[in-house]
Structure 1
Amino acid sequence: MANITMYCTTVCPYCTRAEMLLKQRGVQDIHKIYIDRDPAQRSTMMERTGRRTVPQIYIDEHHIGGFDDLAALDRANGLLPLLQA
């Protein structure tokens, strides 16, 4: 199973939905980086992704994007192959 990293905040409904979708697809462990608890991580996230919103999801080193991107990838049957790589 791939390594999942998710930049998130403690009160983010899209982060919760992304986590639920990943768990439905068999992901057991998500490395969460809370940018509201550690403001330096927000800068790191913005440099790494070029985006300001959460969640920002990585599967291994592949940037997926936010929840909408993750859901679209799943609908296109592209999520499971990435998770199983």
Structure 2
Amino acid sequence: MSHVKIYTKSTCPYSKRAKQLLDAKGVRYEEKVIDLDPSLRGEMIAATTGKTTTPQVFIAGRHIGGSDELLELENSGELDVLLTDSSAQPSA
């Protein structure tokens, strides 16, 4: 399974929704909570080339986007492909 990293805020409902989707699929992920460790905010912004909202999701090192983009991938069936095949690319 591909490595999944998610930047979140502890009080963000979109972060919660993204984690619930990953949890329901049985996906293990590395969570970086930016409001509990302020240094992670700069790390997230640099990794996403300027995104400041949470969550920000990465699968196999590729930036996927936020909660809405994660849900779109799930609804299209592409999320499972990305999670099992780290060489797969989401369609535009």
- Could you tell me the TM-score, scaled by structure 2's length? 0.85
Structure 1: which 4+ aligned runs deviate by more than 3 Å?
A: none
Post-superposition shift, 1:33?
Answer: 0.5
Task: Return the alpha-carbon distance in structure 1 between the equivalents of residues 83 and 13 of structure 2.
Answer: 22
Which aligned pairs between 1:36-47 and structure 2 lie closer than 5 A? 36-47=35-46
% identical aligned pairs: 39
The equivalent residue for 2:68 is: 68
Post-superposition shift, 1:26?
Answer: 2.7
The equivalent residue for 2:15 is: 15
Post-superposition shift, 1:24?
Answer: 2.1
* Alpha carbons 1:7, 1:33 under 8 Å: kept: yes
AA at the equivalent of 1:36: D
Task: Return the alpha-carbon distance in structure 2 between the equivalents of residues 63 and 46 of structure 1.
Answer: 11
Task: Return the alpha-carbon distance in structure 2 between the equivalents of residues 54 and 10 of structure 1.
Answer: 10
Question: What is the CA RMSD across the aligned residues, in angstroms?
Answer: 1.0
Post-superposition shift, 1:73?
Answer: 1.1
Task: Return the alpha-carbon distance in structure 2 between the equivalents of residues 37 and 19 of structure 1.
Answer: 17
AA at the equivalent of 1:58: F
AA at the equivalent of 2:5: T
Task: Return the alpha-carbon distance in structure 2 between the equivalents of residues 81 and 67 of structure 1.
Answer: 18
* Alpha carbons 1:4, 1:59 under 8 Å: kept: yes
